[in-house]
Amino acid sequence: MQTVGSDVIRVAVPLAVAGGIFVLGLVVRRLVVGHLYALARRTESDWDDMVLRVLRGPVVLWLAILSLAVAAEFTGLSGRAAALVQRTLVVLIVASITWVAARIAGELVGRAMAPAGGRLPAASLVENVVRGVVIVLGGLVILQTLGISIVPIVTALGVGGLAVALALQDTLANFFAGLHILATRKIRPGDFIRLDSGEEGHVEDVTWRHTTILQTSNVVTIVPNAKLAAAVTTNYSLPQSPTVLLVPCGVAYGSDLEHVERVALEVARDVMREAEGGVAAFEPLLRFTALGDSAVTFNLVVQVREQPFAGPVRHDLIKRLYARYATEGIEIPFPQRVVHLRQGTGDRGAGTG
């Protein structure tokens, strides 16, 4: 009876000590991490925020590993039990390091691929691929630590990979098309694009299967990567985000073209300064294009920050230009054709016949 009691005490004490260490660690983690988060928010750099965000989860696992190690040390295990505990601790340590490495790699890739201004997240496809590679490497290390040979596993994956590739042709086609889209950097998260089918909007994300496009009507369009890679796509964010906007117009014959140009440029400058999305630093241009059937036509050239602003800026520019031309007495003619009839020509012709 005394032996049973001593065995219970010998097991209960280490467990109690380990539990106490774990609870104390959680309390310290909450206090320390909370204080560090408060300090990180005061700094301009966001690298400290990233480190705290990455380490917040693994700290709990490290506390559990420490508690298990303390319990094993107090228990005084030996033989196979001690070897099992030691191997378990090594596996947990490798798994935690792999976890941290995968999250850090994903964060670094996300920062490297983030669009200018950080408006949208980077493509999750590349982040997930990088995290997956790190996790696979960590899993191989764990298998090697457990004494499991990885050569048969790699061989089996190579043989089975062919069957999987045949069964998942569409999925793999979208996967590699997504990698191709991101590698060429012709379509990036945050870019404003228009597809040949008519859809247009900002690229929100490129996943392993599809690309998400947020249209200006606040509707999400999901396009398979393979179709996007094969589509004729207009990217308004390349080579730079500000987009040139052409506003065609025409004035009546007989108008003072110098006056027409001066008034139009004044209106365009006012719109660029006041309209949302206008580029005030851009000097508007006016170029006469043709002597048309009923008007002298021209294009008024301005610039907007992004393609979604083109509609509102064009709307404001046309309204102001129409009102100003009316005030200045500049006529914008209706489509018309003037026919001059020469009287008597037909009669003389008939008489000579």
Which of these ranges, 271-275, 334-338, 341-345, has the smallest mean pLDDT?
341-345
Say whether pLDDT at 81 is over 70: no
Band of residue 108 on the pLDDT scale cut at 50, 70, 90: confident
Residue 209 neighbours by CB under 8 Å, 6+ apart = 171, 174, 175, 178, 224, 225
The answer to whether position 3 is within a domain reads no
The answer to whether position 343 is within a domain reads no
Rounded CA separation 183/126 (Å): 10
Do residues 197 and 227 share a domain?
yes
Do residues 220 and 258 share a domain?
no
CATH of the domain at 211: 2.30.30.60
Structural domain ending residue among the three candidates 169, 194, 227: 169
Residue 352: predicted pLDDT? 39
Q: Of 174 and 4, which is predicted with more confidence? A: 174
Say whether pLDDT at 321 is over 80: yes
pLDDT for 209-252, tens place per residue? 888 888 877 888 889 988 888 888 888 877 777 888 889 999 99
The backbone torsions φ and ψ at residue 258, rounded to the nearest 5 degrees and listed phi first, read -65, -40
Say whether pLDDT at 278 is over 70: yes
Across residues 165-170, what is the average pLDDT?
Answer: 64
Do residues 95 and 50 share a domain?
yes
Highest mean pLDDT: which range of 132-146, 173-187, 304-318: 304-318
Domain limits for position 61: 9-169
Helix (H), strand (E) counts: the chain: 10, 8
The answer to whether position 205 is within a domain reads yes
How much is the mean pLDDT over the chain?
76
DSSP for 96-160, please give it: HHHHHHHHHHHHHHHHHHPPGGG-SPPPHHHHHHHHHHHHHHHHHHHHHHTT--SHHHHHHHHHH
Rounded CA separation 73/88 (Å): 14
Alpha-carbon dihedral 30, 36, 39, 44, rounded to 10 degrees: -130
Structural domain ending residue among the three candidates 169, 194, 222: 169
Is the bond leading into 239 cis (omega within 30 degrees of zero)? yes
- Domains in the chain: how many in total? 3
Residue 121: predicted pLDDT? 46
Do residues 158 and 45 share a domain?
yes
CA 195 to chain centre: 17
Say whether pLDDT at 168 is over 70: no
Do residues 201 and 64 share a domain?
no
Residue 195 neighbours by CB under 8 Å, 6+ apart = 223, 228, 231, 232, 233
The answer to whether position 279 is within a domain reads yes
Do residues 72 and 141 share a domain?
yes
- Residue among 330, 328, 317 at smallest CA distance from 251: 330
The answer to whether position 75 is within a domain reads yes
pLDDT for 15-38, tens place per residue? 666 666 666 666 666 666 666 666
The answer to whether position 176 is within a domain reads no
Structural domain ending residue among the three candidates 138, 169, 200: 169
Say whether pLDDT at 268 is over 70: yes
Residue 346: predicted pLDDT? 52
Residue 235: predicted pLDDT? 84
Which of these ranges, 154-158, 245-249, 313-317, has the smallest mean pLDDT?
154-158
Do residues 65 and 194 share a domain?
no
Band of residue 153 on the pLDDT scale cut at 50, 70, 90: low
Across residues 104-119, what is the average pLDDT?
Answer: 62
Do residues 230 and 105 share a domain?
no
Do residues 156 and 21 share a domain?
yes
Across residues 87-111, what is the average pLDDT?
Answer: 78
Do residues 67 and 109 share a domain?
yes
Residue 31: predicted pLDDT? 66
Do residues 219 and 267 share a domain?
no
3-state SS, 307-319, equals HHHHHHHHHHHHH
Q: Which amino acid is at 135?
A: I
The answer to whether position 230 is within a domain reads yes
Q: Of 167 and 225, which is predicted with more confidence? A: 225
The answer to whether position 62 is within a domain reads yes
Residue 148: predicted pLDDT? 73
Across residues 145-157, what is the average pLDDT?
Answer: 68
Q: What is the pTM for the complete model shown?
A: 0.49
pLDDT for 176-211, tens place per residue? 788 788 777 788 888 888 888 888 888 888 887 888
Do residues 72 and 152 share a domain?
yes
